[in-house]
Structure 1
Amino acid sequence: MKFASLPDRRAALDPDGPAVSDGLQALTNAQLLNRVRAAAHHLRDLGIGPGDVVALKLTNRVEFVLLLFAAWRLGATVTPVNPSMTDGEVARQLVDSGARLLVVEDGTEAVAGLVTLAVGGLREQAPGWDEAPQPDPSALALLIYTSGTTGVPKGVMLDHANIDAMVEMGRLALELGPSDRCLLILPLFHVNGIIVSVLTPLLVGASVVIAGRFDPRTFFDLVERERPTFFSAVPTIYGMLAALPDSVQPDTSSLRFGVCGAAPASADLLARFEARYGFPLVEGYGLSEGTCGSTINPVSGPRRAGTVGLPFPGQEIRIVDAAGAEVAQGLDGEVIVRGANVMRGYLGRPEETARTVIDGWLHTGDIGHLDEGGYLTLVGRSKDMIIRGGENIYPKEIEDVLTGDRSVLEAAVIGVPDEKWGEVVVAYVQPRPGVTVDPAALQKLCARHLTGYKRPTSYIVVEAIPKNAVGKIDKVALRASHTSASAGA
């Protein structure tokens, strides 16, 4: 269990070196250790011990990192809670996880029947003695709740062995070292923010800058001030940055790369972004069930735009058909993953775990294919597949065509019921700021690039396409709103 004792090792090796900051406070390695020890004693005094679950309903801030290490120091488990969730959603996660303690922002109401700690009251001074962390790779480290777009959120159980494996894979794939500096802009209630932007850089001796809420208008000011070497974001964020006025010409010389994940990005967006800002985006792919990442385009090797790259070191990827048989190179099928990063299972859901992890292989529900070089291309979710007159249609192919139009910031394609065809294709498009989308032009674009049955029957222009908590397009919500609008028409 490397991470329970990581603050100790950093403080011993470089006590005055920078560790983590958030705009309000900046901690050296020695200060990080002192604050983690203080937080651990505070948690212990509140009754937290090995196997207990600590829920963190916090915005991105240094205290999240302190409490993460403090809980692990005691052998406890952390479940991050999205601060924007409703009271009912929060209660469901707290009950399902069996949380013993909830840490909240100052001014937040306590939850009845559960010990609640306001983050401003977290102790900052440690006593003069401390117990050494007890390593246990099998101990549960994180309970990450899936975003719930396919049903009630499930608790993904990640133990310390999962995290150790994933961080080592990330270190190798991203070629990180002590001179790196990560800018965290993704939410810490998601596994990407924790693994890619906090644990991996801290393990290699690098430092972390925690940003507040993402704002495209001030993002590059932050880059110029903090001089990070990398950051991780979702395609929506890169789309907003690519759409900034031409007058925005920031100094990005400190950045080696940006990681693009959580949802597939179009090759056009990646190419336009790199050409404009002068640093590459390395697109990756993964799931919470796989402790964050399974494939990524190489940082220094050949990147193939439109693919999500090669397997992380130590992971295997296969493409299988509905019967579980491996398909030929280039053919579409379900993506399955094997490695030490694959979750222990879903909390309290052995049947769902058995359906998802079979003989060590994580069945992702994503559809894709491998090329001759082993690069993975995703074509969609099996649940998002549209079947029109017996023909299978994967929305991403159509979305990539639509986002190739310079007036379109984002596109989301769904299937809607049709008496004749079973389903037909409908496209939702969000325009770039200050630009008007012409549906007729999009119709001509699709006619040039897509065979007839794949072309949308309608193009609906909206101010914003709905997203879930981690920035992925929420097609469940989109289909529901479309059904509701159609019924009211």
Structure 2
Amino acid sequence: MNTETIPFLFRKSAEAHADKPAVVTPQKSVTYAELNQMSDAIAANLIERGTQPGDHVGLYGINSAEFIAIYFGIQKAGATVVPINLLLNPEEVAWILNDAGVKTLFYFEPFTPAVESIREKLPTIGTFIGVEQELPQMLRTPIPGLELPISSDSVAVIIYTSGTTGHPKGAMLTHRNLCFDALSAGNALKLRPDGDRFLVVLPMFHAFASLAGVLIPLLHGSSLVPLPKFDPTLTAETIDATNATIFLGVPSMYNLLLRLPEKHTAHIQKLRFAVSGGAAMPVEIMKQFEERFGVFIIEGDGPTECAPVTCFNPVDGLRKPQSVGLPIPGVEMKIMDEHGKELPLNEPGEICVRGPNVMKGYWKQPEETAESFFGEWFRTGDIGTEDEDGYFYIVDRIKDMVIVNGMNVYPRVVEEVLYKHEAVREAAVIGEPSKLHGEVPVAYISLKDGFQCSEKEIRAFCLEHLGRHEVPKKVHLVGDLPKNAAGKIVKRELRKQGEIERGIETNEH
């Protein structure tokens, strides 16, 4: 039996912690032994229905013990999980299922209408499994002794990353990629197997949640609390009810938790620490959160293609604000120029990663795969720097950089300034084409409740802290900024909005 596979490591964890809770909700707990049995029954049932090693099985569902049991069950059957982004419209879901050649689809009740609307357009799917109806029967199936020989190089999961243009790409992550990343990142987090409980509100179809929220706790003997969607009040009450010790979130979630009434402060204070990833954490939000709740935030980073954790600030060492920290053990990171040449310390370039966590490639996209590497080094698409202590900083996404009169403007730098303004709740900066300047920065801002502010005031504030070319040429005050299912601000929606306003024409600036 290959020891670098998810089924092997999960079984080992389940044997060591059989009677301990693996998945906890305010209503019930599922022990490691029960979760192991559930996933064995699902695997046996899939094999009985004709699932072959290497087949692709879709999983369209919400955070729950059932989602995790199905995820492990698919892998125990030697098949590959294809998780579906819950925010996609049915046509986009159909595209992914067809692109991946999915043969069996598990779907939860809320997504029945979506599945029914595209069923005719899914020729590769022979088996549709409605979870609420069919899972109870599957779990009653007698389980034969089931330990398939699974290669650590076989693909455990294909996660489709939202493309900025065109269709998303399916990142193929092997068992070795995920096992290495879960063990290395979990050890670096210095988990207490008997005491740590992860609150997982990030959607489990997402790489951050499935690795940091499911595999890390369950391969280390900790437990997790799944929440199907993010609601600040429910999050605080669930931390209190389940004694969660670690919260995983993206920056916009921390911003919303700061708006909780005072009565919830003690609930959040129960956490041992919190982890932030998925987008750059504005220093001002981190500072306010830590001051109010006394809970420190460990900021880290990594793209889906790296399984996904590449680095984070040490739990018990020096945390540097604005830094995504040090590479996790066994992972190397470098700053390179556009030709793949390493750059000196503190000089901005592309963050590149090498290690056992780097994906096998993009499904059916050999050219895209080749373009994403300098030899063994995966190109993350992030502009960053490395300091003298080996800490990495993300300056921005390469595609988000705005070039004004030939000068680089990094939206993140402008956003950090905007967050310092007392009236600003959320901010995002994008580039807009300009006949005179090539591009100009444009800011989209939502204000805190009870605050008022004009575009003129915002621009004057920026002028005090930024170079003239960095000051947003326009400021749009909006109710809320568009976000994806993981709560990350989606800049491409703002760009689309800008194009509609301009009638897809470039205004003179």
What interval of TM-score do these two structures reach, taking the shorter chain for normalisation? over 0.9
**Residues in 1 aligned to 2:16 and 2:470: alpha-carbon distance in whole angstroms:** 58
Query: Is the 8 Å Cα contact of residues 277 and 300 (structure 2) preserved in structure 1?
Result: yes
TM-score by length of 1: 0.96
Compute the displacement of 1:42 (Å): 1.8
The 5 A counterparts of 1:107-186 are 108=112, 109-110=115-116, 111-112=119-120, 113=123, 114=125, 115-120=127-132, 121-122=134-135, 123-179=138-194, 180-186=196-202
**Residues in 2 aligned to 1:454 and 1:248: alpha-carbon distance in whole angstroms:** 38
Where does residue 100 of structure 1 map in the other structure? 103
Change over 3 Å in CA distance of 1:128–1:413 after alignment to 2:
closer
Where does residue 432 of structure 1 map in the other structure? 448
Where does residue 70 of structure 1 map in the other structure? 73
**Residues in 2 aligned to 1:7 and 1:333: alpha-carbon distance in whole angstroms:** 39
Deviations along 1:49-69, whole A, 9 cap, x unmatched? 200011001011111100111
Q: Which structure shows the bigger proportion of residues in helix conformation?
A: 2
Query: Is the 8 Å Cα contact of residues 10 and 219 (structure 2) preserved in structure 1?
Result: no
Where does residue 250 of structure 2 map in the other structure? 234
Query: Is the 8 Å Cα contact of residues 57 and 102 (structure 1) preserved in structure 2?
Result: yes
**Residues in 2 aligned to 1:94 and 1:79: alpha-carbon distance in whole angstroms:** 8
TM-score by length of 2: 0.92
Deviates most, 122-131 or 339-348: 122-131
2:366 to 350, 359, 363: 350
Deviations along 1:34-80, whole A, 9 cap, x unmatched? 21121112212222120001100101111110011111111100010
The 5 A counterparts of 1:327-476 are 327-476=343-492
1:251 to 229, 244, 267: 267
**Residues in 2 aligned to 1:403 and 1:137: alpha-carbon distance in whole angstroms:** 45
**Residues in 2 aligned to 1:4 and 1:177: alpha-carbon distance in whole angstroms:** 22
4+ aligned runs moved over 6 Å, structure 1: none
1:89 to 2:105 alignment: no
**Residues in 1 aligned to 2:227 and 2:415: alpha-carbon distance in whole angstroms:** 30
**Residues in 1 aligned to 2:12 and 2:326: alpha-carbon distance in whole angstroms:** 32
Change over 3 Å in CA distance of 1:69–1:247 after alignment to 2:
closer
Compute the displacement of 1:486 (Å): 2.5
Where does residue 486 of structure 1 map in the other structure? 502
The percentage of aligned residue pairs carrying the same residue is: 37
1:8 to 2:23 alignment: no
Query: Is the 8 Å Cα contact of residues 269 and 293 (structure 2) preserved in structure 1?
Result: no
Letter paired with 1:116: F
Q: What stretches of structure 1 of length at least 5 have no aligned partner?
A: none
Query: Is the 8 Å Cα contact of residues 415 and 428 (structure 2) preserved in structure 1?
Result: yes
Compute the displacement of 1:439 (Å): 2.7
Deviates most, 59-68 or 247-256: 247-256
**Residues in 1 aligned to 2:455 and 2:477: alpha-carbon distance in whole angstroms:** 8
Query: Is the 8 Å Cα contact of residues 13 and 220 (structure 2) preserved in structure 1?
Result: no
Letter paired with 1:408: V
Instruction: Give the alignment's Cα RMSD to 1 decimal.
Output: 1.7
1:292 to 2:295 alignment: no
**Residues in 1 aligned to 2:151 and 2:191: alpha-carbon distance in whole angstroms:** 26
Where does residue 260 of structure 1 map in the other structure? 276
Compute the displacement of 1:25 (Å): 4.3
Compute the displacement of 1:253 (Å): 4.5
**Residues in 1 aligned to 2:349 and 2:13: alpha-carbon distance in whole angstroms:** 44
Deviates most, 65-74 or 465-474: 465-474
